[in-house]
């Protein structure tokens, strides 16, 4: 087997791994080994090789992980062939699949990697009374938190800590799960808890977030004039600053400096103004949230826009952009989506999708989410429904990640 056999049209997504401060520690890189999405050994080998080819050669690891570690699954075959040695040890964590037997041949390969400075993680590990030889080599053990009995969760974390191993809680889907896992002694957390709102019975949108939501409401009114837009932006000097910084950035390549808000608005045009305003407003709304939440909403936004022409919806690209961006606004505001949508004058189809109403826009949103989570079978089903050429999507995803990073730097 060799890296030259890789299918470079493969799909690569990522899933964040957080530390106890809700900062991104690493990303698990997820790939699909073939269009049929089977999980045979050969396809598992191909999936890892696809991650290597796309993550390091085609897309670039920096675009995929932003300089963070990348967790990559390794099969028995690839461990024995020493494929991990092709990758930089400071950027890669070798993730050992749960179906690999800890025989002497495999343990020798793992010891060699460990001696070369690689971090080793055990995937979907189940603690047994007899233990496992892998525990003598592992740096991190991933535990299916939801699939583990509550009485066992803390014991596992304590047992691992006694061995000097960090415990990683997988499938952490709510803030309550995160808090429980942290209290049990887990060091790392994986799941979509960060993108869920913390809705309390007395929840209200507080402080400066009210003004940003009000400005978002004003900007999205279809009848708004440039003069009225200028008045809205002047309500907050930071918005004016970011607008002028944005319009004078290298993105536009203008030969002269724009110093007037009105001139900047005219140059952008109504559709781009709404996109820019949403970008900056979401940045402010997310100041007390994990940074990954903003990356998530911007990536979804850009991906929605880029997929529009691929499904015959070129003219609706701005709406699909806003749909992707606002898909996490409930988490940013810790407020039910229904309450927020009642305040924002968005396109009815966008609102319907964000409220979970089955229709075309909801299908598009579900497609974005399926790709993001590496749910390849669901993604294929939805892409077929949309008549979307799947082969075009990986490029859109990579471009969206790059755009999100650049946009956050300007916002």
Q: What is the CATH number of the domain that holds 56?
A: 3.20.20.450
- Secondary structure (DSSP) of 189-248: EESSGGGS----TT----TTHHHHHHHHHHHT-TT--HHHHHHHHTTSHHHHHHHHHHHT
**171 shares a domain with 44:** yes
**178 shares a domain with 145:** yes
Range of lowest pLDDT (114-128, 130-144, 198-212): 198-212
Q: Decide if 249 contacts 195 (C-beta within 8 A).
A: no
Q: Is residue 40 in some structural domain?
A: yes
Which residues does 330 contact at the CB level (< 8 Å), separation at least 6?
197, 199, 336, 337, 340
Q: Is residue 201 in some structural domain?
A: no
Q: Is residue 202 in some structural domain?
A: no
Which residues does 280 contact at the CB level (< 8 Å), separation at least 6?
239, 242, 243, 246, 411
**174 shares a domain with 322:** no
Query: Is residue 29 pLDDT above 60, yes or no?
Result: yes
Query: Is residue 251 pLDDT above 70, yes or no?
Result: no
**124 shares a domain with 251:** no
Mean pLDDT of all residues belonging to the chain = 85
**367 shares a domain with 269:** yes
Name the percent of the chain lying above pLDDT 70.
88
pLDDT digit string, tens, across residues 192-234: 999 998 866 545 555 567 777 777 877 777 777 788 878 877 7
Query: Is residue 34 pLDDT above 50, yes or no?
Result: no
Which residues constitute the domain of residue 225?
209-410
Which span out of 15-24, 241-250, 284-293, 401-410 was modeled with the highest average pLDDT? 15-24
Q: Is residue 91 in some structural domain?
A: yes
Structure tokens at 281: 């407003």
**306 shares a domain with 240:** yes
Structure tokens at 216: 């978002």
Which among 345, 347, 327 is positioned nearest to 337, based on CA atoms? 327
pLDDT-based confidence at residue 38 (cuts at 50, 70, 90): very low
Query: Is residue 62 pLDDT above 90, yes or no?
Result: no
Q: Distance (Å, rounded) from C-alpha 302 to C-alpha 320?
A: 8
- The residues facing 122 across adjacent strands are 96, 141
At 36 the pLDDT is 45
**What domain count does the chain have?**
2
Q: Is residue 203 in some structural domain?
A: no
At 411 the pLDDT is 65
**227 shares a domain with 170:** no
Where among 159, 194, 229 does a domain terminate?
194
**343 shares a domain with 298:** yes
Q: Is residue 293 in some structural domain?
A: yes
**128 shares a domain with 227:** no
Q: Decide if 50 contacts 73 (C-beta within 8 A).
A: no
| 344 alpha-carbon distance from chain centroid | 25
At 40 the pLDDT is 45
Mean pLDDT across 29-55: 65
Range of lowest pLDDT (2-6, 21-25, 227-231, 400-404): 2-6
**151 shares a domain with 79:** yes
Q: Is residue 144 in some structural domain?
A: yes
**269 shares a domain with 395:** yes
Q: Distance (Å, rounded) from C-alpha 182 to C-alpha 179?
A: 5
Burial class (CB in 10 A: 0-12, 13-18, 19+), 88: exposed
Query: Is residue 259 pLDDT above 80, yes or no?
Result: no
Where among 140, 162, 194 does a domain terminate?
194
Q: Domain with 358 in it: what CATH number?
A: 1.10.3210.10
Q: Which residue has the tokens 């309550």?
A: 176
The secondary element (H helix, E strand) that includes residue 184 is: helix 175-184
**268 shares a domain with 182:** no
Q: Which residue has the tokens 């690493």?
A: 26
pLDDT digit string, tens, across residues 319-375: 999 999 999 999 988 889 998 898 888 889 999 999 999 999 999 999 999 999 999
Name the percent of the chain lying above pLDDT 90.
52
Query: pTM of the prediction?
Result: 0.85
Mean pLDDT across 284-297: 90
Mean pLDDT across 120-148: 87
Query: Is residue 79 pLDDT above 50, yes or no?
Result: yes
Q: Distance (Å, rounded) from C-alpha 116 to C-alpha 113?
A: 5
Angle at which helix 226-233 crosses helix 209-219, to 10 degrees, equals 170
Query: Is residue 2 pLDDT above 60, yes or no?
Result: no
At 118 the pLDDT is 96
At 200 the pLDDT is 60
């Amino acid at each position: 087997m060799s890296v030259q056999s890789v299918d470079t049209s493969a799909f690569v997504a990522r899933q964040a791994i957080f530390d106890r401060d809700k900062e991104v520690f690493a990303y698990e890189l997820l790939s699909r080994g073939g269009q049929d999405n089977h999980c045979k050994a050969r396809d598992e080998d191909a999936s890892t090789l696809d991650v290597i080819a796309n993550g390091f050669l085609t897309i670039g690891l920096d675009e995929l992980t932003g300089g963070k570690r990348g967790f990559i699954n390794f099969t028995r075959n690839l461990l024995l062939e020493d494929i991990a040695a092709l990758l930089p040890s400071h950027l890669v964590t070798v993730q050992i699949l749960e179906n690999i037997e800890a025989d002497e041949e495999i343990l020798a390969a793992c010891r060699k990697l460990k001696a070369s400075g690689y971090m080793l993680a055990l995937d979907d590990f189940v603690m047994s009374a007899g233990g496992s030889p892998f525990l003598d080599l592992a740096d991190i053990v991933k535990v299916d938190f939801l699939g583990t009995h509550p009485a066992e969760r803390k014991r596992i974390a304590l047992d691992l800590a006694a061995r000097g191993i960090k415990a990683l809680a997988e499938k952490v889907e709510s803030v309550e799960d995160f808090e429980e896992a942290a209290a049990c002694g887990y060091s790392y957390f994986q799941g979509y808890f960060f993108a869920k709102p913390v809705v309390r019975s007395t929840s209200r949108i507080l402080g400066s977030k009210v003004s940003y939501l009000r400005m978002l409401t004003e900007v999205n009114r279809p009848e708004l004039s440039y003069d009225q837009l200028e008045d809205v932006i002047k309500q907050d000097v930071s918005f004016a600053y970011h607008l002028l910084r944005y319009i004078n950035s290298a993105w536009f390549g203008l030969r002269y400096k724009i110093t007037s808000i009105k001139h900047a608005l005219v140059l952008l045009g109504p559709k781009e103004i709404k996109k820019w305003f949403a970008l900056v407003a979401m940045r402010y709304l997310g100041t007390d949230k994990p940074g990954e939440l903003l990356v998530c909403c911007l990536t979804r936004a850009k991906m929605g826009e880029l997929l529009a022409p691929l499904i015959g919806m070129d003219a609706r690209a701005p709406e699909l952009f806003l749909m992707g961006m606002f898909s996490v606004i409930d988490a940013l505001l810790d407020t039910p989506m229904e309450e927020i949508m009642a305040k924002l004058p968005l396109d009815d189809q966008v609102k319907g999708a964000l409220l979970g109403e089955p229709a075309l826009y909801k299908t598009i949103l579900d497609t974005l989410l399926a790709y993001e989570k590496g749910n390849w079978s669901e993604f294929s089903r939805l892409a077929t429904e949309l008549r979307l050429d799947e082969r075009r999507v990986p490029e859109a995803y990579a471009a969206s990640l790059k755009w999100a990073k650049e946009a956050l730097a300007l916002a």
